[in-house]
Amino acid sequence: MAAEQMPNLAAKLSTRVAETIMRQCREDGFHPYPLERWAYVPGMLLMSMARAGLQLNEGRYFDFMRQHMDYYIAEDGTIGTYTLEEYNLDQINQGKNLFMLLARNGDARYAKAADTLAAQLIGQPRTSEGGFWHKKIYPFQMWLDGLYMASPFLAEYAKTFDRPELMDEVAHQLLLVERRTRDKRTGLLYHGWDESREQDWADSLTGLSANFWSRAMGWYAMAVVDCLEHFPVAHPKRGTIVGIFERMCHALIRVQDSDSGLWCQVLDQGNRKGNYLEASGSIMFVYAMAKGLRLGYLSGGFRDGMLKGWQGIRERLVTEDADGVHLHRICNGAGLSKDRNGTFDYYISEAVVSDHYMGIGPLLLCSLEVERYLEQSPS
């Protein structure tokens, strides 16, 4: 391959990832993937590009987010393809971009759209202890995934619109799911919990799913650190949340692969046949630790583990060619339902793919966060 075809390896990885995404756009500037529907993975891709625009001072990246958000947000603030009555936490995630847009120009339609999403959460179906159901169609179930989808949005909404009672709600959700899903022996969190104990995947006594899925804990780790950024210092639950975050990161370091610095698809069974080092969860853990270190939520003892993970991501999961950055070993998707029973064999049976935006979005977020931390604390 000719040298001029290769990506600029001297540029930051964040820049190289963002430029890869920009090259995938059509002539009209739209990227096909975020146009498919209002959803959590497209929303994460847009957020990663907007953060890249702000951090790297590159307006094209922020405009990428704005253009695709404006595709969905009508003049009256309604959201295309979104239905509140689905009560689906996944549908909240894309709304995180509204706050960056509001900060940029204060357009009232963005505030109206944010009000709609907040209204969904206020009316979200709940467990007996007030925990959000993951979806209306998943009664009495809390999944770790849902904490990332909804809680950072609600925390930023509470801060932006001066709704302190909603910050209390965020704290309640984060602490409740951790208390219900944490394994006392390992400190790891199970993927899901069914209060009704009716689901095939749920233990008949505890209601817990059977295994520790890497990306589920990745979602929760990112949720905690992203929420904490918005909590008032004097909030009575802030210190507890910081504490459970550090305790959880200790548990993650204990199951980090000593050779690669990465994490397995099923976190505590690294030596079991069929298990593999998985990209999206590993990237989410490094993101959460880097941000936790930068903001002081984690002690400096986590630096080595974070950097080892970052090295493993770059050396073992990322390749580059004339088309840009590629990411490999991404679990295509996993969940909990009648045919997704949460066993070890189930988690390792899901397709493993390259370049899915489920991994690319977190890779850009992680790159930005590690680069920012290293610029702040180079040694």
Q: Collapsing DSSP states into helix, strand and coil, what is residue 213?
A: strand
Q: What is the CATH number of the domain that holds 197?
A: 1.50.10.10
pLDDT digit string, tens, across residues 125-169: 999 999 999 999 999 999 999 999 999 999 999 999 999 999 999
Catalytic residue positions, numbered = 145
376 by Cβ neighbours in 10 Å (0-12 / 13-18 / 19+) ranks as exposed
Report angle CA 339, 279, 52 to the nearest 5 degrees: 120
pLDDT digit string, tens, across residues 52-76: 999 999 999 999 999 999 999 999 9
Work out how many domains the chain is built from and give that number: 1
Look at residue 4 and tell me if it is in a domain.
no
Is the model's pLDDT at 174 over the cut of 70?
A: yes
Look at residue 46 and tell me if it is in a domain.
yes
Residues 6+ apart with CB under 8 A from 330: 278, 279, 280, 352, 353, 354, 355, 356, 358, 359
Question: What is the domain range of residue 213?
Answer: 10-376
pLDDT digit string, tens, across residues 303-322: 999 999 999 999 999 999 99
Report angle CA 151, 157, 160 to the nearest 5 degrees: 145
Look at residue 1 and tell me if it is in a domain.
no
Look at residue 57 and tell me if it is in a domain.
yes
Angle between helices 303-312 and 279-294 (to 10 degrees): 140
Is the model's pLDDT at 10 over the cut of 70?
A: no
CA pair distance 2, 6, nearest whole angstrom: 7
pLDDT digit string, tens, across residues 337-378: 989 999 999 999 999 999 999 999 999 999 999 999 999 988
324-327/318-321 β-pairing: antiparallel
pLDDT digit string, tens, across residues 78-127: 999 999 999 999 999 999 999 999 999 999 999 999 999 999 999 999 99
Look at residue 196 and tell me if it is in a domain.
yes
Look at residue 367 and tell me if it is in a domain.
yes
Look at residue 240 and tell me if it is in a domain.
yes
What is the torsion angle, in degrees rounded to the nearest 10, for the CA atoms of residue 113, residue 25, residue 352 and residue 46? -30
Across the chain, mean pLDDT equals 96
User: Of 306, 343, 178, 6, which is closest to residue 170 (Cα–Cα)?
Assistant: 178
- With cut-offs at 50, 70 and 90, classify the pLDDT of residue 2: very low
pLDDT digit string, tens, across residues 241-298: 999 999 999 999 999 999 999 999 999 999 999 999 999 999 999 999 999 999 999 9
User: Of 77, 333, 85, 338, which is closest to residue 215 (Cα–Cα)?
Assistant: 333
